[in-house]
Amino acid sequence: MKKDKKPDNIVFNEETQEYHGKLSPFATGVSVPKITPPDVTSWKNTHIISANNQFKAEYEALQKSYNEMMNNFEYNNLVYSAKFNFEPIVGKEYHLYKSKDESTFLSLISPLECTFKHLGSFRLTSDKTWEKL
């Protein structure tokens, strides 16, 4: 059986038996207008800069949050590793000192009334972490 050959200006896929000229990214005939894709380079460059600025701002916010969390972690380690002979109460202010033998201890005595080296004042929060004052 002889196959009917389609003219050259008709885009016909022999495998799928479908016309797909409208899907073609190029002109399929002489009389068809020229297809010129829009130049989106300037749009891309503008939006790449905008997206990069957004990512940079998010990264800096995450970095700042991370640094704050690590500082809080260090303060908690410092206070929890200090010596104290009482059970701290949530919401009360405590003072961290360094003694002459270089050990740290937590006290209720304010820095004005104590001669040891004051390392900082802290408050125990409801989630049992120490907040630097």
Tell me if 89 is assigned to some domain.
yes
Tell me if 23 is assigned to some domain.
no
Tokens at 122, concatenated: 């802290």
Q: What is the pLDDT along the chain (133 residues), one digit of tens a residue?
A: 456 666 555 677 777 777 766 666 666 666 767 767 788 888 888 899 999 999 999 999 999 999 999 999 999 998 898 898 888 889 899 999 988 888 899 888 888 888 888 888 999 999 898 988 8
Q: What residues contact residue 120 under an 8 Å CB cut-off, 6+ apart? A: 75, 95, 96, 132, 133
Inter-residue contact 43 to 51 (CB < 8 Å): no
Q: What residues contact residue 93 under an 8 Å CB cut-off, 6+ apart? A: 121, 122, 123, 133
Tell me if 29 is assigned to some domain.
no
Tell me if 120 is assigned to some domain.
yes
Tell me if 33 is assigned to some domain.
no
Tell me if 103 is assigned to some domain.
yes
Predicted model pTM: 0.57
- What total number of domains does the chain contain? 1
Tell me if 82 is assigned to some domain.
yes
Supply the range of the domain harboring residue 82.
39-132
Tell me if 81 is assigned to some domain.
yes
User: What is the rounded distance in angstroms from the CA atom of residue 89 to the CA atom of residue 92?
Assistant: 6
SS3 letters across 64-75: HHHHHHHHHHHH
Question: What one-letter code names the amino acid at 63?
Answer: Q
